[in-house]
Amino acid sequence: MSALSLTPKALYEEVAERLRQRIFSRELEPGSWIDELKLAESYGISRTPLREALKVLATEGLITMKLRRGAYVTEVSESDLSEVYHLLSLLESDAAAAVASHASETELIELTELHRQLEAAAHCREDFLLANVQFHARLLVIAGNRWREQIVNDLRKVMKLQRHNSLLKSGRIEESLTEHRALLEALKARNPSKAAQRMQEHFKNGFKAAS
């Protein structure tokens, strides 16, 4: 692999992003040891920016640092997954309630269009996954709490470590679409409690499909 060139973005951030994508693609498997010397040589960098990159990934939960053993790609247990889904359910249901309360008509139209794209992508799991991420990301932005948005983004990175995506389960895409329709209806009806409930149900069913 070619050496990284220094850009306006800090070098360690570029390294962190490369490693992040290798983890998400399973090129670096959960539980695998990070060979710092080999990686530094392959990227043509010193171990200092690599170690800074590993610290970033550790704060995101993607890397686990073990005393005197080095860095490992985090393995997500059933318990970990349950806790992540629980927190996402709390945070995103709160965001859904906020959107139902104060979103503008224009913002609700945006979410409706993103849902339309979700419906159109139902035939392709990868396209559906991307459209789903875009819908949830936009809802969080509209909800308007950057701290909640940051925490959710980090939790969703951990979700990507799971070996079995919930959408792989037969019929889960159709179920997810039904849940999204109910959520959108609650948002457009400007019913905060119902929107929160629909989002909680969405995550509850997603966890069942993933576990």
Q: Which CATH number fits the domain that encloses residue 66?
A: 1.10.10.10
Over 90: is that where the pLDDT of 189 sits?
A: yes
Residues 117 and 180 both lie in one domain? yes
Residues 68 and 85 both lie in one domain? no
Q: How confident is the model at residue 95 (pLDDT cuts 50, 70, 90)?
A: very high
**85 in a domain, yes or no?**
yes
Question: What is the per-residue pLDDT across 43-83, written as a single tens digit (0 to 9) for each?
Answer: 999 988 999 999 999 998 899 999 888 999 998 888 988 99
Question: What is the per-residue pLDDT across 114-159, written as a single tens digit (0 to 9) for each?
Answer: 999 999 999 988 899 899 999 999 999 999 999 999 999 989 988 8
- Domain region containing 48: 11-73
The mean per-residue pLDDT over the stretch 21-38 comes to: 91
- Rg from Cα positions in the chain: 19
- Helices and strands, counts by H and E, the chain: 9, 2
- Output the CA angle 81-127-148, nearest 5 degrees: 45
Residues 101 and 184 both lie in one domain? yes
CATH of the domain at 197: 1.20.120.530
What percentage of the chain exceeds 90 in pLDDT? Answer: 69
Would strands 63-66 and 70-73 be described as parallel, antiparallel, or unpaired?
antiparallel
**4 in a domain, yes or no?**
no
Contacts for 203 with CB less than 8 Å, ≥ 6 apart? 85, 88, 89, 92, 93
Q: How confident is the model at residue 8 (pLDDT cuts 50, 70, 90)?
A: very low
Q: How confident is the model at residue 33 (pLDDT cuts 50, 70, 90)?
A: very high
Residues 54 and 151 both lie in one domain? no
Residues 56 and 152 both lie in one domain? no
Residues 18 and 95 both lie in one domain? no
Based on the structure, what is the number of domains in the chain? 2
Q: Which of 21-25, 32-36, 163-167, 207-211 has the lowest mean pLDDT?
A: 163-167
Specify the DSSP class assigned to residue 166: G
Residues 182 and 90 both lie in one domain? yes
**1 in a domain, yes or no?**
no
